[in-house]
């Protein structure tokens, strides 16, 4: 039955040019005293190291088999941005959780840094299942996943080929393929897409012959005066003390931005194709009523098989659900996973 519900590694930079909006409980760098945290590493199928923060509820019987949840960070971010907040909050509810850095980002391996590779992002989630499913304190038949922003589309991509993921939730999801091809609300023309592809192809010559990497400069250090509301929304999180993290191996200018020569690869990424094949495993799509990305959760919900649920948070924008604990529906996520990972 369909249900659409309206719900009532690393350095933190200190030189952001604007103050942070810390309203509605913004708490990206939350540290729980109810969980045991451990940094872990494991290999993906291509023998590349993936790094994650593992959280285990205090008092858990080490001989018991516990349900577990993988948490993926927003696209261009690292695990310390949003993912570790979610992972700790869910661990407080009794789940073993693992917030991962996608390949090429944060403390996970991959060169060049911040490269775009949808297949490798998908593999990061599949490898996280390998890791959790071989821990003595995890029940390999009760592993779920949360994908935030772009990781929502990667988690779906992973779930389509990995039935070991038993319950799939997304928050403020971006379909990274669609937004690259078409823009938000189909605002990118075919000619603009072709120009982007041509520029990326020419840049490959530059890099192949030893030239400098050219970066997508969507989030510069200083906010442009003519920045649109969406850009300002991202800037307030990623370029202020509210959520800014500069991973080792990148500069502040590079963090959150990607090489244009690899960004273009999202044009070949279609995560929602065959999404219905995930059924009968349950899916939960969480988005804000004011989120500029709402269209992607609604599209995925429309295409998905049963059981599925679209949960809309009133008054919330896209980035609000990264860290504003007064808005993030942790109770809904807890209910979803306790019901479906029992």
Give the pLDDT confidence score for residue 250 in this predicted structure: 87
Backbone phi, then psi, for 217, in 5-degree steps? -105, 55
Asked whether the predicted pLDDT for residue 6 surpasses 70, the reply is no
Q: Which two tokens stand for residue 211?
A: 């030239």
160's CB contacts (< 8 A; 6+ apart) are: 271, 274, 275, 277, 278
Task: Give the whole-angstrom CA distance, residue 330 versus residue 88.
Answer: 11
Give the pLDDT confidence score for residue 254 in this predicted structure: 86
Q: What angle do CA 327, 331, 335 make, to 5 degrees?
A: 145
Render pLDDT for 259-279 as a digit per residue (tens, 0 to 9).
Answer: 999 999 999 999 999 999 999
Task: Give the whole-angstrom CA distance, residue 200 versus residue 148.
Answer: 27
Task: Give the whole-angstrom CA distance, residue 63 versus residue 68.
Answer: 15
Q: What angle do CA 103, 104, 108 make, to 5 degrees?
A: 60
- CA 278 to centroid of chain Cα atoms: 19
Task: Give the whole-angstrom CA distance, residue 171 versus residue 152.
Answer: 7
Q: Calculate mean pLDDT across residues 141-150.
A: 98
Q: Residue written as tokens 């909006």?
A: 21
Task: Give the whole-angstrom CA distance, residue 113 versus residue 167.
Answer: 31
What band does 256 get if pLDDT is binned at 50, 70 and 90? confident
Give the pLDDT confidence score for residue 63 in this predicted structure: 85
Give the pLDDT confidence score for residue 146 in this predicted structure: 99
What band does 4 get if pLDDT is binned at 50, 70 and 90? very low
Render pLDDT for 126-142 as a digit per residue (tens, 0 to 9).
Answer: 999 999 999 999 999 99
Task: Give the whole-angstrom CA distance, residue 55 versus residue 122.
Answer: 22
For residue 337, the SS3 value is helix
Give the pLDDT confidence score for residue 277 in this predicted structure: 98
Render pLDDT for 297-329 as a digit per residue (tens, 0 to 9).
Answer: 999 999 999 999 999 999 999 999 999 999 999
What band does 17 get if pLDDT is binned at 50, 70 and 90? very low
Q: In terms of CATH, what superfamily is 3-340?
A: Alpha/Beta hydrolase fold, catalytic domain (3.40.50.1820)
Q: Calculate mean pLDDT across residues 283-302.
A: 98
Asked whether the predicted pLDDT for residue 15 surpasses 80, the reply is no
**Domains in the chain: boundaries:** 3-340
Render pLDDT for 91-110 as a digit per residue (tens, 0 to 9).
Answer: 999 999 999 999 999 999 99
What band does 12 get if pLDDT is binned at 50, 70 and 90? very low
Q: Calculate mean pLDDT across residues 52-70.
A: 94
For residue 146, the SS3 value is strand
Task: Give the whole-angstrom CA distance, residue 64 versus residue 58.
Answer: 13
Query: What's the DSSP call for residue 101?
Result: P
Q: Which two tokens stand for residue 260?
A: 């244009």
Render pLDDT for 207-235 as a digit per residue (tens, 0 to 9).
Answer: 999 999 999 988 989 999 999 999 999 99
Q: Calculate mean pLDDT across residues 160-164.
A: 98
């Amino acid at each position: 039955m369909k249900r659409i519900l309206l719900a009532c590694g690393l350095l933190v930079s200190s030189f952001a040019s604007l103050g942070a909006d810390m309203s509605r409980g913004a708490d990206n760098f939350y540290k729980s005293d109810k969980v045991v945290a451990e940094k872990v590493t494991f290999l993906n199928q291509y023998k590349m190291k993936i790094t994650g923060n593992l959280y285990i509820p205090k008092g858990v019987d080490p001989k018991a088999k516990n349900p577990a949840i993988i948490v993926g960070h927003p696209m261009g971010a690292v695990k310390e941005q949003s993912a570790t907040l979610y992972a700790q909050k869910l661990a407080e509810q009794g789940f073993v959780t693992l917030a991962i850095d996608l390949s090429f980002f944060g403390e996970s391996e991959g060169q060049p840094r911040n490269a775009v590779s949808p297949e490798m992002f998908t593999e990061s989630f599949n490898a996280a299942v390998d890791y959790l499913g071989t821990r003595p304190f995890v029940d390999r038949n009760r592993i779920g996943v949360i994908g935030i922003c772009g990781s929502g589309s990667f988690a779906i991509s992973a779930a389509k080929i990995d039935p070991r993921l038993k319950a799939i939730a997304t928050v403020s999801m971006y379909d990274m393929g669609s937004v690259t091809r078409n823009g938000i609300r189909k605002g990118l023309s075919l000619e603009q897409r072709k120009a982007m592809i041509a520029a990326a192809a020419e840049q490959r010559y530059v890099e192949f012959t030893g030239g400098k990497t050219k970066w997508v400069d969507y989030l510069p250090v200083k906010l442009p005066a003519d920045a649109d509301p969406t850009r300002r929304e991202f800037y307030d999180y990623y370029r202020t003390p509210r959520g800014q993290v500069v991973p080792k191996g990148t500069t502040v200018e590079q963090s959150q931005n990607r090489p244009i020569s690899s960004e273009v690869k999202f044009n070949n990424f279609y995560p929602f194709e065959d999404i219905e094949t995930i059924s009968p495993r349950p899916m939960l799509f969480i988005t804000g009523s004011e989120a500029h990305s709402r269209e992607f959760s609604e599209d995925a919900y429309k295409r998905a098989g049963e059981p599925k649920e679209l949960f809309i948070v009133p008054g919330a924008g896209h980035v609000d659900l990264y860290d504003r604990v007064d808005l993030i529906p942790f109770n809904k996520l807890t209910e979803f996973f306790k019901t479906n990972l029992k």
